[in-house]
Amino acid sequence: MPEEMFDQSGVTFTTKASSMFDCAFCVCAVKILAIVAARYCDKSCVTGIQVCNEPSERMPVGRLCDFYENAIEAVRGAGMSADKVAVVLPIFTHWRAPEVTDAWAERGNFMKYDNVVFDLHYYHNFSSIWNLLSHRQHVDVVACHALELKCLPHAMVGEWSTSRPGQFSEAEQADFARQQVLGYNHASHGWFFWNWHDHEFYTDWDMERGAFKTGRLPKPLGPSELQGFLRPEWEEDGRGGSSLPCTAAQTEPCTWHVATAHGLG
């Protein structure tokens, strides 16, 4: 069906996607979230709940924020308090981060909600730009992502891997893995490697064989991986300190990476 598309959320979208988000789908999702939150609100092992996975880029930012606000209210109203459970809101793809966070800020939501976290998935795949980059340029992009994370009040990297197109030495792959760990440590709520699996292929997507078994990362992770940062000076004054380079002039070197990759995606 040419007018339809499937995205990572598992929902089929038509050209009438805008009107669809006014009604049943988001309402049902919020009701389900409330049921799940009520069921697990007294479980100490539950420290976060994500309201959805990778929502369609076709979802207008205003309706996306509406859904997120309703989802937060449902989770908190069901008994998952801010002092115990983070509510995780995905930004997908991460190229939408400026659009979503600007809309969120305009609504005053950064100050309104406690322990609400934006989740970004950083992959060096799924766009033709990645075929053109050298190892050094991949590392530069990681630094830009680290800056983006540090500039957000609350963030996490819910997915990342060591997969990327091209031919790189084992030393470069190890450096790529370590640079990502140190960069994503700037996120207030940490990171998750994607993923663990039992296939005999796609090792760059397997933490056990692609990161630990190859020696690209130590097992277990050591103090430098758990507590180190790509740019330690960003952490010296605490989050939001004067050493944080979040002005337009200071972040300009990252603009090329974002704009070019998005344009070629």
Is this model's pTM higher than 0.75 or not?
yes
Residue 52 to residue 88: CA distance in whole angstroms: 8
Range of the domain at 63: 5-264
pLDDT of 21 higher than 70? no
| pLDDT tens-digit map of 128-169 | 999 999 999 999 999 999 999 999 999 999 999 999 999 999
Which CATH number covers residue 72?
3.20.20.80
Domain count, the chain: 1
CA distance 248 to 229: 22
Residues 6+ apart with CB under 8 A from 117: 48, 86, 87, 88, 89, 154, 155, 156, 188, 189
Q: What is the pLDDT of residues 186-243, one digit of tens each?
A: 999 999 999 999 888 899 999 999 999 999 999 999 999 999 999 999 998 655 444 6
User: Rounded to whole angstroms, how far apart are CA atoms 75 and 77?
Assistant: 5
